[in-house]
């Protein structure tokens, strides 16, 4: 039998060998105690030998029984930790007490209670010590092999944060990923921790040492392992990390950690959202709960980016029924499947239908009788709508008109239109069509029992067709990353942020308002591209080129959230404002809508005709060249 066969045999019979070692150490411990209590350290007398033999035989049975009951032989020594060692110690102490009790109860000549207690302590020390030695030998062999095999391929890793999560990460890395990562150190802003170590890894300095340490140690990867941190502080640290050229990965949220998710599996790439530095949004959940609980809620466009997130957040407030309407069956199926899996006790209904189809919308309102409507269905892509202007009018304008008329006819309590900053002084068909949507709900509100309101906000990060997913795809393909203009800016908000504020704004609606969300400071799209490239551990215009392509049709350099004539008032929420309602009479608006309806039957139909007609309906609609000239 060669060495490999012997090792294989020992692995398969690991428990037997460990039990034999424990029994051998138990005998050694009792012998040591027996010799130690003799002043002359003389050889045992015949009576001493009998007592020793009785004690050892009884102890072997008792110790093996209790160590088995405590699952001590089910552990893999390589993965044992402090908790396992405490169990070993506890099992040994219980066993030594039981040995003494059994000797007393059954009148067996055995060593006294003090000797048994001392032996229990020794056995604990022996068991834990040899297991630690085996674990260290195995770990050292893994480290040694990793250094020999993968020294040139391992990535130098810096960890940000010196808390419990870092300890867990280090343990996982040392146990399973020595071939992948070489941990060079830890960064922590707590001055009292600097130069101390966590699990053998030294804390090298605070955030201001990150760039210097990355240069000195050739850091390839940074793990940001602080889950509970102020958003502005997080932004500052991540901005420093961006300048190192290292790939950055980030710890999962506190919620994920509490749920017990594997930390390494949950580590994710840093997203632009992490760099916005926004404070967490505080909501009045009591108001939202009162709005939604036990109500039938209809979400149009419920399979889209905003619509699906609305559904995810609405369902948490236990509506009587959530009706999700969308024309695109794949998205609708996905959100239905997700919600029914996560909320099996809630009443969720997925409905195929188009807001363009007035008859279908009336069928939906007749069957489900919603009391609250969130209208998110819309065509939103600016260049596509410039090339297909009539489709924008059909879907956005008349889709909204159909849905709003149904809401009024069927006495819906509240109707919330999801609008956009592109409706303000629009320079494209999409923005102009959404402005008409706002005009529709403000006009209908005057004559209806239903409370109509709109919520206006800018771009949402990560939504379908938005710039961030496009940039990521371009980076993954090796570039170039395309930006239309170096100075173009946009307001950005995360999808969950936007939807939370939509729900909060909906609780304030009394009819006719346009709520404007505080989007923070506008962000340069060029800067976003640079950040995304750096977050990927690459250098802009070195590893990934950035190409300026020129403004697209209908695109302007910056967006606005408010028209000058609207005015602005605060609400109870510091991130929600309300514009002064504008006066639109329904009969006047109907005349304008008829001019748009007639476009479909106009034999002279052209994009230019549609654009000029839309300008007559929306006086603030201007060509982008006019607006961009003013900006410059």
Residue 276 has pLDDT above 90, yes or no: no
Q: What is the mean pLDDT of residues 413-422?
A: 93
Q: Please tell me the distance from the alpha carbon of residue 528 to that of residue 241, in angstroms, as a whole number.
A: 15
**Structure confidence at residue 148 as a pLDDT band (50, 70, 90):** very low
Pairing of strands 492-494, 546-548: unpaired
Structure token pair of residue 432:
């102009």
> 27-41, 49-63, 172-186, 397-411 — which is least confidently predicted?
27-41
pLDDT score recorded for residue 581: 66
pLDDT score recorded for residue 506: 92
Asked whether the whole model's pTM tops 0.85, one would answer no
Residue 145 has pLDDT above 70, yes or no: no
**Structure confidence at residue 35 as a pLDDT band (50, 70, 90):** confident
pLDDT score recorded for residue 547: 92
> 196-200, 205-209, 566-570, 607-611 — which is least confidently predicted?
566-570
* Percent of the residues in the chain that have a pLDDT greater than 70, as a whole number: 84
Looking at residue 393, the DSSP 8-state letter turns out to be I
**Structure confidence at residue 459 as a pLDDT band (50, 70, 90):** confident
pLDDT in tens, 237-270: 988 988 888 888 887 655 555 455 566 666 777 7
Give the SS3 label for residue 523: strand
Residue 592 has pLDDT above 80, yes or no: yes
Residue 570 has pLDDT above 80, yes or no: no
pLDDT score recorded for residue 149: 46
pLDDT score recorded for residue 265: 62
Residue 296 has pLDDT above 80, yes or no: yes
Task: Specify the higher pLDDT residue, 417 or 178.
Answer: 417
Q: What is the mean pLDDT of residues 408-433?
A: 93
pLDDT score recorded for residue 175: 72
| In contact, 322 and 346? CB cutoff 8 Å | yes
Domain at 154-270, CATH from 3.30.2420.10, 3.40.50.1820, 2.170.120.20, 3.40.50.720:
3.40.50.720
pLDDT score recorded for residue 259: 53
| In contact, 451 and 510? CB cutoff 8 Å | yes
pLDDT in tens, 108-130: 888 888 888 888 899 999 988 88
pLDDT score recorded for residue 463: 63
Distances, alpha carbon 364 to alpha carbons 306, 350, 395, 513, 518, in Å:
21, 11, 17, 26, 34
**Structure confidence at residue 630 as a pLDDT band (50, 70, 90):** very low
Residue 172 has pLDDT above 90, yes or no: no
Structure token pair of residue 292:
């939604």
Pairing of strands 197-198, 201-205: antiparallel
> 21-30, 172-181, 192-201, 208-217 — which is least confidently predicted?
172-181
Residue 620 has pLDDT above 70, yes or no: yes
> Taking all residues of the chain, what is their mean pLDDT, rounded to a whole number?
83
Residues catalogued as catalytic: 422
Q: What is the mean pLDDT of residues 557-578?
A: 67
Q: What is the mean pLDDT of residues 52-67?
A: 90
**Structure confidence at residue 222 as a pLDDT band (50, 70, 90):** very high
pLDDT score recorded for residue 412: 96
DSSP string, 436-465: HHHHHHHHHHTT-SSEEEEEEE-EEET-TT
Homologous superfamily, domain 285-458+508-518+565-631: NAD(P)-binding Rossmann-like Domain (3.40.50.720)
Q: Where are the domains of the chain?
A: 3-146, 154-270, 285-458+508-518+565-631
The total number of residues shown for the chain amounts to 632
240: β partners: none
In sequence order, the 6+-apart residues with CB closer than 8 A to the CB of 591 are none
74 backbone dihedrals φ, ψ, rounded to 5°: -100, -5
* Percent of the residues in the chain that have a pLDDT greater than 90, as a whole number: 35
Distances, alpha carbon 414 to alpha carbons 110, 371, 410, 450, 609, in Å:
85, 7, 11, 6, 36
Residue 107 has pLDDT above 60, yes or no: yes
Task: Specify the higher pLDDT residue, 629 or 28.
Answer: 28
pLDDT score recorded for residue 10: 63
Q: What is the mean pLDDT of residues 63-77?
A: 85
SS3 content of the chain, % helix, strand, coil (to 5): 55, 15, 30
pLDDT in tens, 344-376: 999 999 999 999 999 999 999 999 999 999 999
39 backbone dihedrals φ, ψ, rounded to 5°: -65, -35
Give the SS3 label for residue 290: helix
**Structure confidence at residue 7 as a pLDDT band (50, 70, 90):** low
């Amino acid at each position: 039998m060669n060495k490999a066969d012997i090792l294989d045999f020992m692995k398969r019979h690991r428990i037997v060998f460990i039990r034999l070692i424990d029994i051998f150490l138990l005998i050694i411990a009792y012998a040591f105690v027996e010799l130690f209590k003799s002043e002359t350290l003389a050889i045992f007398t015949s009576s001493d030998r009998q007592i020793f033999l009785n004690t050892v035989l009884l102890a072997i049975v008792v110790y093996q029984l209790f160590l088995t009951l405590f699952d001590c032989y089910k552990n893999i020594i390589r993965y044992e930790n402090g908790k396992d060692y405490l169990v070993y110690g506890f099992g040994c102490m219980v066993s030594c007490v039981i040995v003494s009790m059994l000797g007393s109860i059954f009148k067996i000549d055995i060593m006294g209670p003090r000797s048994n207690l001392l032996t229990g302590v020794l056995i604990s020390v022996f068991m834990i010590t040899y297991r630690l030695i085996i674990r260290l030998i195995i770990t050292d062999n893994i480290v040694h092999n990793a250094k020999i095999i993968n020294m040139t391929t391992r990535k130098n890793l810096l960890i940000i944060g010196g808390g419990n999560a870092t300890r867990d990460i280090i343990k996982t890395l040392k146990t399973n990923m020595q071939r992948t990562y070489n941990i060079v150190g830890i960064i922590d802003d707590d001055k009292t921790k600097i130069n101390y170590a966590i699990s053998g890894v030294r804390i090298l300095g605070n955030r201001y040492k990150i760039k210097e340490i990355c240069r000195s140690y050739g850091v390839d990867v940074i793990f940001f392992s602080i889950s509970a941190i102020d958003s502005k502080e997080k932004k500052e640290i991540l901005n420093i990390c961006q300048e190192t050229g290292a790939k950055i990965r980030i710890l999962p949220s506190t919620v994920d950690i509490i749920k017990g998710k594997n930390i390494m599996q949950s580590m994710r790439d840093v997203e632009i959202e992490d760099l916005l530095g926004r404070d967490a949004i505080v909501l009045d959940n009591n108001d939202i709960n009162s709005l939604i609980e036990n109500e039938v809620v209809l979400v149009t466009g419920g399979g889209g980016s905003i619509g699906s997130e609305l559904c995810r957040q609405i369902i948490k407030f236990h509506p009587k029924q959530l009706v999700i309407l969308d024309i695109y069956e794949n998205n609708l199926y996905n959100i239905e499947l997700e919600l029914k899996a996560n909320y099996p006790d809630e009443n969720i209904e997925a409905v195929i239908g188009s807001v363009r189809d007035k008859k279908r919308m009336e069928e939906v309102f007749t069957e489900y009788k919603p009391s609250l409507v969130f209208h998110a269905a819309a065509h939103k892509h600016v260049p596509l709508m410039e090339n297909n202007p009539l489709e924008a009018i059909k879907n956005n304008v008349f889709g909204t008109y159909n849905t709003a008329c149904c809401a009024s006819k069927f006495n819906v309590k509240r109707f919330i239109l999801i609008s956009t900053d592109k409706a303000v002084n629009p320079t494209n068909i999409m923005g102009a069509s959404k402005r008409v949507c706002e005009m529709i709900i403000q006009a209908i509100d005057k004559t209806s029992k239903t409370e109509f309101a709109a919520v206006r906000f800018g771009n949402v990060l990560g939504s379908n067709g938005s710039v961030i997913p496009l940039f990521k795809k371009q980076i993954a393909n090796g570039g170039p990353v395309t930006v239309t203009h170096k100075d173009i800016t946009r307001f950005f908000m995360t999808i969950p942020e936007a939807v939370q504020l939509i729900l909060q704004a909906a609780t304030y609606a009394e009819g006719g308002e346009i709520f404007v969300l505080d989007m923070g400071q506008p962000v340069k799209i060029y800067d976003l591209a640079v950040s995304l490239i750096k977050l990927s551990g690459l250098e802009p215009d070195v590893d990934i080129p950035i190409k300026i392509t020129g403004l697209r049709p209908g695109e302007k350099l910056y967006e606005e959230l408010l028209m000058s004539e609207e005015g602005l008032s605060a609400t109870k929420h510091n991130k929600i404002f309300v514009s002064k309602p504008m006066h639109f009479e329904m009969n006047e608006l109907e005349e304008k809508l008829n001019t748009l309806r007639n476009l479909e039957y106009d034999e002279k139909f052209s994009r230019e005709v549609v654009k000029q007609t839309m300008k007559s309906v929306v006086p603030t609609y201007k060509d982008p060249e006019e607006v961009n000239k003013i900006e410059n």
